[in-house]
Amino acid sequence: MVEMNDLGPPTEIQWCPGCGNFGILRALKKALVNLGQPAHNIFLVSGIGQSGKTPHFIDLNGFHTLHGRAVPIATGAAVSNPNLHVIVHGGDGDLLGEGLGHLLHGARRNVDIAVLIHNNGIYGLTKGQYSPTTPHGQVTKTSPPPSGVPMEPVNPLAQAIVGGATFVARSFAGDIDHLTDIILKAVKHEGFAVVEILQPCVVFNKVWTWDFFNERVYQISDDEHDSSNKAKAIQLAFEWGDRIPLGIFYAEQRRTLQRDLYLPEDGGLYNHQSNLEELQDIIDDMLI
Ligand SMILES: Cc1ncc(C[n+]2csc(CCOP(=O)(O)OP(=O)(O)O)c2C)c(N)n1
Ligand code: SF4
């Protein structure tokens, strides 16, 4: 089983001091230790961005893929080896911009993976352009005054719920205990889990600061919110302002893609022995 001391970092961490990604990495490690699985059963997949560097900074198997394409790669890994706990890391630009289509199709397929959206409301790696979650009117390098961002932001949780995700939650990089608990629940959930993690980018987003979030976030309680009620979950996903809710917005059990797809009787495509002669016949047929 993985222990905290096994997890590195294997290389020097190159995020800015004060970046919210440090809290996310810390909570991820704690969640994986609590998961109690051997390292070979955990697989991290990431897109491009500061968030996409996460697999570099933890000593586990990982695949740093292309911008917006982490969900399809994770889907392939999860479907071919049902023993794997597959965890996707990406930013709001990566998963909600170029990757939004993949996120929605992953959700409707209910593939058994956990998607962690590092939402800092900005493009961090490429130095401060507005992202799909930057609020309407915010001034950034690519949305100058007086109008700022000229459009409404994507609502990550509402998109995930409408898309068909079966576990949808929000946490905050500054609350390690809450984030650890939510990541663990998302990874253990059988189906497509989406976690929006509020994360300050201390260099390029001067609005979503640590103070901004600390003054606003609150934890929803089971008494206040029924996480099996889809309509109420979508309504809650639009609460944003003086109060920003954290917790499990929506959860349900539904058949996963892995269960609905054909899987070889020996347990998974990853150890399936192909008949090379049959394979060659198929290739030859296609060449004619
Ligand atoms: C196909 C493609 N399009 C665009 C880019 C440029 N690019 C790299 S990272 C990035 C966005 C980064 O923002 P985000 O996903 O929010 O991650 P962060 O760095 O803030 O964690 C973009 C547009 C790219 N590398 N590849
Ligand atoms: S630029 Fe922003 S997101 Fe990137 S490492 Fe620095 S603080 Fe973090």
Residue 273: give its domain's CATH number.
3.40.50.970
The pLDDT of residue 276 is above 80: yes
Q: 214-223: long-range contacts at Cβ-Cβ below 8 A with a sequence spacing of 24 or more?
A: 214/174, 216/241, 216/242, 216/243, 216/244, 217/172, 217/175, 217/244, 217/245, 217/246, 218/243, 218/244, 218/245, 218/246, 219/178, 219/245, 219/246, 219/247, 220/245, 220/246, 220/247, 220/248, 220/249, 221/247
Q: How many CB atoms lie within 10 A of CB 219?
A: 12
pLDDT tens digits, one per residue of 199-229: 999 999 999 999 999 999 999 998 889 999 9
- Ligand 1, atom 6, lies closest to the CA of 126
Residue 192 corresponds to which amino acid?
Answer: F
The DSSP code for 203 is T
Q: Which of 123, 142, 197, 204 to mutate to test the pocket of ligand 1 (most atoms within 8 A of CB)?
A: 123
Domain around 45: 4-287
Under the banding of pLDDT at 50, 70 and 90, the label for residue 262 is low
Q: What average pLDDT does this structure show over 73-88?
A: 94
- Ligand 1, atom 2, lies closest to the CA of 67
pLDDT tens digits, one per residue of 240-257: 999 999 999 999 999 998
Residues 6+ apart with CB under 8 A from 33: 1, 2, 3, 4, 7
* Cα(140)–Cα(58) distance, integer angstroms: 32
For residue 265, the Cα-to-chain-centroid distance in whole angstroms is 31
Predicted TM-score (pTM) of the model is 0.95
* Cα(28)–Cα(17) distance, integer angstroms: 19
Instruction: Locate the ligand 1 atom nearest the alpha carbon of residue 52 and give its number.
Output: 21
Q: Which of 21, 48, 115 to mutate to test the pocket of ligand 1 (most atoms within 8 A of CB)?
A: 48
* Cα(246)–Cα(274) distance, integer angstroms: 47
The pLDDT of residue 280 is above 90: yes
Q: How many CB atoms lie within 10 A of CB 188?
A: 14
| Domain tally, the chain | 1
Indicate the pairing of strand 217-219 with strand 85-91.
Answer: unpaired
